[in-house]
């Protein structure tokens, strides 16, 4: 019976174990795709089916992404609080690692955004580390569910980035300059550019709205793909208790790392695109 708990596939695995017809409130995109069982979902199903309290069980399953992202937040906070406790002149391994990480992020943001980019280093760093740990959470044996494989989490991150970029635009370009940036009107406008500016405005707005959509869908699709890949590989030899998913660990780690990096880099580039760039002309 333990083996039936290894993979949860739609409602069928729960039916085999408990014999009840479990009602699953899942989003349409996740039907028919295997997912790894994780602690919170297992507890939720236990409450629904064995303790006969479907309302409480479904509520727990509904909030699983929020629970996991808060758990990851707390783990990251603890890790960095521990690392920052002692500031030795000759750092130990933990402090050295954290300093390397911070140095890399700092130099990257400086390269792209220039000296004024200092204010955005915490934001980019947090996004990168948070998304990286969220992506990697799918690999941990009984936390087999990455919060970033849910469109809600990625969309909220993308909307947050969108609001940050627009506020940066308004603050650094001024409200009038912000609107001019959307209408693509340079300093000395040719009359044709002024005539075309409503069209350019419309196109630019569409382009700006496409950014959070693409950010969220990219992260969501990639991490869902990784989770499903892990589940499929677990299903291969789970009956013989052989952890076949180790074979895909390199792909999953690389993919998670790249997606976190791409999210952070694209945020930096969007902030750069919204900054005044008079030096180019």
Q: Which of 214, 249, 251, 277 binds another protein (CB under 8 A)?
A: 214
Question: How many residues at the interface with another protein, by CB under 8 A?
Answer: 24
Question: Segment contacting another protein (CB under 8 A): 92-100, 132-140, 163-171, 212-220?
Answer: 212-220
Give the integer Cα–Cα distance in Å for 30 and 251.
22
Left if phi > 0, otherwise alpha if psi is -120 to 50, otherwise beta: which for 239? alpha
Bridge partners for 38 per DSSP: 143
Q: Which stretch binds another protein (CB under 8 A): 137-145, 154-162, 175-183, 258-266?
A: 258-266
Which position among 12, 16, 21, 29 is part of the footprint of another protein (CB under 8 A)? Answer: 29
Query: Among 4, 20, 24, 30, which residue interacts with another protein (rule: CB under 8 A)?
Result: 30
Figure out which of the listed residues 28, 115, 191, 239 binds another protein, where binding follows CB under 8 A: 28
- Angle in degrees, 0-180, between the axes of helices 93-113 and 249-273, rounded to the nearest 10: 40
Torsion of CA 33, 37, 39, 44, to 10 degrees: 60
Q: Which two tokens stand for residue 135?
A: 């992506």
91 interacts with another protein by CB under 8 A: no
23 binds another protein (CB under 8 A): no
Q: Is 12 in the site for another protein (CB under 8 A)?
A: no
Given the complex with another protein, which of 154 and 197 has the nearer CB atom?
154
Per-residue binding string, another protein, 166-205, x by CB under 8 A, is ----------------------------------------
Q: How far is the CB of 119 from another protein (least distance, A)?
A: 20
Residue 257, classified by CB atoms within 10 Å of its CB into exposed (0-12), middle (13-18) or buried (19+), is middle
The one among 4, 18, 33, 110 contacting another protein by CB under 8 A: 33
DSSP characters over 176-236: HHHHHHHHT--SS--HHHHHHHHHHHHHHHHHHHHHHHHHHHHHHHHHHHHHHHHHHHHHH
Report the chain's C-alpha Rg in angstroms: 23
Q: Rounded to an integer, what distance in angstroms lies between the CA atom of residue 95 and that of residue 86?
A: 8
Supply 180's token pair.
């001019």
- Shortest distance, CB of residue 34 to another protein, whole angstroms? 12
Which of these segments, 85-93, 165-173, 189-197, 264-272, binds another protein (CB under 8 A)? Answer: 264-272
Binder of another protein out of 225, 232, 272, 275 (CB under 8 A): 225
Binding residues for another protein, rule: CB under 8 A, are: 27-33, 108, 111-112, 214, 217-218, 220-222, 224-225, 258, 261-262, 265-266, 269
């Amino acid at each position: 019976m333990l083996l039936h708990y290894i993979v949860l596939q739609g409602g069928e695995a729960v039916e085999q174990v408990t014999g009840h017809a479990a009602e699953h409130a899942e989003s349409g995109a996740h039907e028919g795709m295997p997912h790894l069982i994780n602690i919170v979902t297992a507890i939720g199903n236990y409450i629904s089916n064995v303790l006969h309290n479907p309302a409480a069980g479904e509520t727990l399953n509904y909030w699983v992404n929020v629970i996991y992202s808060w758990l990851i937040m707390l783990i990251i906070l603890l890790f960095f609080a521990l690392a920052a406790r002692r500031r030795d002149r000759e750092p130990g391994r933990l402090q050295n690692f954290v300093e390397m990480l911070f140095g890399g992020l700092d130099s990257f943001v400086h390269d792209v955004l220039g000296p004024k980019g200092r204010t955005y280093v915490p934001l980019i760093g947090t996004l990168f580390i948070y998304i990286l740990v969220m992506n990697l959470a799918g690999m941990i044996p009984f936390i087999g569910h990455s919060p970033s494989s849910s469109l809600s989490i990625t969309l909220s991150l993308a909307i947050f980035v969108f609001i940050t970029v627009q506020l940066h635009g308004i603050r650094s370009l001024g409200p009038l300059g912000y609107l001019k940036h959307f209408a693509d009107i340079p300093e000395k406008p040719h009359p044709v550019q002024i005539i075309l500016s409503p069209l350019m405005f419309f196109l630019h707005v569409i382009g700006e709205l496409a950014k959070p959509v693409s950010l969220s869908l990219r992260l969501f699709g990639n991490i869902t793909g990784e989770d499903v890949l892990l589940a499929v590989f677990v299903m291969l030899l789970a009956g013989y208790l052989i952890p076949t998913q180790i074979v895909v660990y390199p792909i999953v780690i690389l993919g998670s790392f790249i997606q976190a990096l791409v999210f952070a880099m694209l945020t930096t580039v969007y902030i750069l695109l919204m900054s005044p760039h008079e030096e180019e002309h």
